Amino acid sequence: QELTRYRSEFFGRLRKILSQRSDILVVGDRFVFQSEVVFPKGSAEIQPAGLVEMDKLATALKELEGEIPADIAWVLRVDGHTDTDPIQTLFESNWELSAARAIAVVNVLIQQGVNPKHLVAAGFGEYQPLDPGDSEDAKTRNRRIELKLTER
């Protein structure tokens, strides 16, 4: 399928751009940003270092938008995930925090010129962990933003 080719090109481009970061991983068909790269713990406000990474992502996405034919319906799904620790911030639940983080990433990408029709924000809370453990390392791995290029 045609979208598969563009997905491969996009992820290849992102790998080059983000290759120096050990806290940004490729897991299957997704790019995974550890939350600490983008957000302070318990917050949905993108920190300055996260804005730098989002700028790189936006650049790659804008290039991709120019290459994928208009008849291919695609989106970049931005998925927010949290750990299992109960939250005690302005968000009532981890689910709300995960959704707010995904929306914050989408908003920054839009501000940087990415077409909103190619973006989707989703929050998964603590319900899709990468690591089922309860250690601090497991919780750190589970606090993340995932990016997946998919059909609309």
Position 151 in a domain: no
**Backbone dihedral region for residue 28 (phi beyond 0: left; psi -120 to 50: alpha; all else: beta):** left
User: Per the confidence metrics, is the pTM higher than 0.75?
Assistant: yes
The number of distinct structural domains making up the chain is 1
Q: Which residues contact 42 (CB under 8 A, 6 or more apart)?
A: 87, 88, 89, 91, 97
Position 150 in a domain: no
Q: CATH number, domain at 119?
A: 3.30.1330.60
17-40: per-residue pLDDT in tens?
766 666 677 777 788 999 999 999
Position 152 in a domain: no
Residue 105 belongs to domain spanning? 2-143
Mean pLDDT, range 66-73, rounded to an integer: 86
76-90: per-residue pLDDT in tens?
999 999 999 999 888
Position 123 in a domain: yes
